[in-house]
Structure 1
Amino acid sequence: MKALRFSTLLAIFLFTFLSCKKKEISEETQEFIQEPTKEQLDKLFNMGINIDNVSIEEITTPDKKTNTYFISGDIMVPVSDLDSYAALEPLENGNKQYRDINIVSPANRNINILGFTGGSAGLTSRMQTALRWAVNNYNALPNSLNFNLTFGANIGAADIVVFQVNNPNGGGSAGFPDLLGKPYPWVRINSGTQAFSTNVNEHVITHEIGHCLGLRHQDWINRQSCGNTGGIQVEPPAIWIPGTPTSPDADSIMLACFGNDEDGEFTDTDRTALNILY
Structure 2
Amino acid sequence: MIKQVIRGLAGCLVAGALFISCQKDNAETAQQDQKIPQDVLQKIGNKGFSTADVHKVDGGYLVEGDILLSEQELSSVSSSPNLRIAEVEQYRTNNLVTRLPRVIRVKVTGLTQPYIDGTDLAISRYNALGLQLTFQRVTSGSADITIRGFYQGPSGGFITLGSSGFPTNSGNPYNSISMNTHPQAYGTNPNVSYVGSVIQHEMGHCIGFRHTDYMNRAYSCGSGGNEGSAGVGAVHIPGTPTGPDAASWMLACSNGGNRTFNANDLIALNYLY
Distance change >3 Å, CA 115–CA 234, structure 1 → 2:
closer
Q: Does 1:226 align with 2:221?
A: yes
Q: Is the 8 A contact 1:98 1:240 kept in 2?
A: no
1:94 aligns with 2:87: yes
TM-score for both structures, normalised by structure 2: 0.77
Decide which of 139, 144, 150 is 2:132's aligned counterpart: 144
| 1:139 counterpart letter in structure 2 | N
Q: Find 1:74's aligned residue among 51, 66, 69.
A: 66
Task: Find the counterpart in structure 1 of residue 44 from structure 2.
Answer: 44
How much identity, in percent, do the aligned residues show? Answer: 32
Partner of 1:161: 146
User: What is the letter of the counterpart of residue 53 of structure 1?
Assistant: D
Secondary structure in structure 2 of the residue aligned to 1:200: helix
Going from structure 1 to structure 2, the CA distance change for 1:187 and 1:204 (only over 3 Å counts) comes to same
Q: Map of 1:1-278 to 2, 5 A cutoff? A: 11-13=2-4, 15-16=6-7, 19=12, 22=19, 35-58=35-58, 68-72=59-63, 73-86=65-78, 94-107=87-100, 109-116=102-109, 122-151=110-139, 154=140, 157-168=142-153, 169=159, 171-192=161-182, 193-195=185-187, 196-224=190-218, 225-228=220-223, 231-232=225-226, 242-243=237-238, 244-260=240-256, 262-278=257-273
1:203 Cα deviation after fit: 1.0
Using a 3 Å threshold, how does the CA distance of structure 1 residues 180 and 149 change in structure 2: closer, same or farther?
same
CA contact (8 A) 2:83 2:93 kept: no
Structure 2: which 5+ runs fail to align? 21-32, 154-158
Distance 1:205 1:89 in 2: 24
1:221–1:237 contact (8 Å) kept in structure 2: no
TM-score (norm 1): 0.76
State how far apart, in whole Å, the 1-side matches of 2:196 and 2:115 are: 8
- Residues 1:34 and 1:79: Cα distance change in structure 2 (over 3 Å): farther
Q: Deviation at 1:270? A: 1.7
| 2:103–2:135 contact (8 Å) kept in structure 1 | yes
Check conservation: 2:49, 2:228, Cα contact below 8 A.
Answer: no
Maintained 8 Å contact 1:90/1:235? no
> Is 1:97–1:273's contact at 8 Å kept on the other side of the alignment?
yes
> Structure 1 stretches (4+) deviating beyond 6 angstroms?
87-93
Counterpart residue number, 2:23? none
Count of residue pairs the alignment pairs up: 241
Which amino acid is 2:72 matched to? S
> What is the Cα deviation at residue 178 of structure 1?
0.5
SS in 2 for 1:13: strand
Deviations 1:14-34 (A, max 9, x none): 6336748825xxxxxxxxx98
C-alpha deviations, 1:198-221, integer Å up to 9, x for none? 211111100111111011011122
Q: Give the aligned CA root-mean-square deviation in angstroms.
A: 3.0
Deviations 1:47-101, CA, capped at 9 Å, x for gaps: 221221112222xxxxxxxxx3111111001112212134877989724100011
Post-superposition offset of 1:149: 1.0
- Say whether the 8 Å CA contact 2:249–2:260 is kept in structure 1: yes
Q: CA deviation at 1:253?
A: 1.1
Shift of 1:170: 5.2
